[in-house]
Amino acid sequence: MVAETGQLEQYYTVLADHIEEVRRMQHDILHHLRVMNGYAQAGDYGRLKEYLEVLVERMPDLDRQYYCADHAANILLKYYGEKARDAGIRFDCDAQIPVDLPCSPVDLCTVLGNVLQNALEACERQEPGERRYISLLAWMVGPNLTMEIRNSYDGQVKMDGDRYVSIKEGGGRGLGLSSVRQAAGRCHGYCAVSRTREEFTVKIVLA
């Protein structure tokens, strides 16, 4: 429960930062409009153009990546997609996640956040120059949301019986996958994990 609470706090922070960014934009936009209107009224189109160029450069590009209709899921996908691309990891996403899912948005974000964080960390452990990628597919089958997340990795895993064990510094059990399984269970679904020597696959159904 402590680990899961920590994960939820992390996802809440991502969402809260996004909301605060939007609020700041809404607060400031009126001031910018007044300045630009003043330049236009005065016919000073040179300064208006310069002001617009600086404003556009500084505005956060919130809608550059639109992955799905569910707002919370879209924010997490955008967050991890940007982190992957910044690290030179290919990020492919086809997420047909609608609004108003029957499962809890907290459970959905717990699942998405954990599997994407695990995938990102696995790719980062690969040797430089190796092919690194994350692929996420999500689609509705009747009332059920099905997700399949595949990622490259270095082929190294640790097992405790049939459970995956974290190979991050400090060891410990695979708390990320444990949280995913618990969230899927609360949604009357399941989580299945498989792997080859080069690829890790997690399939999740939220019913």
The backbone torsions φ and ψ at residue 66, rounded to the nearest 5 degrees and listed phi first, read: -115, 115
Instruction: Report d(CA 64, CA 72) in Å as an integer.
Output: 16
- Interval 141-188: pLDDT, tens: 999 999 999 999 998 877 665 666 666 544 444 457 888 999 999 999
DSSP state of 83: H
Percent of the chain with pLDDT strictly greater than 70: 75
Mean residue pLDDT across the chain:
82
Q: Which amino acid is at 120?
A: L
Question: What is the per-residue pLDDT for 3?
Answer: 46
- Tell me, what's the pLDDT at 125? 93
- Per residue in 57-73, pLDDT (tens digit) is 776 555 456 889 898 89
SS3 96: coil
Q: Residue 162 carries which side chain, given as an amino acid letter?
A: D
Task: Report pLDDT digits (tens) over 2-59.
Answer: 445 555 566 656 666 666 666 666 667 778 888 888 989 999 999 989 988 888 777 6
Phi-psi region of 155 (alpha: psi -120 to 50; beta: other; left: phi over 0): left
Whether residue 112 has pLDDT greater than 50: yes
At residue 150, what is the residue type? R
112 and 72 Cβ atoms separated by less than 8 Å: no
- Give the integer Cα–Cα distance in Å for 182 and 110: 10
* Dist. CA 73–CA 78, nearest whole Å: 9
Alpha-carbon span 118 to 153, nearest angstrom: 10
CA distances from 42 to 48, 51, 52, 170 (A): 10, 14, 16, 64
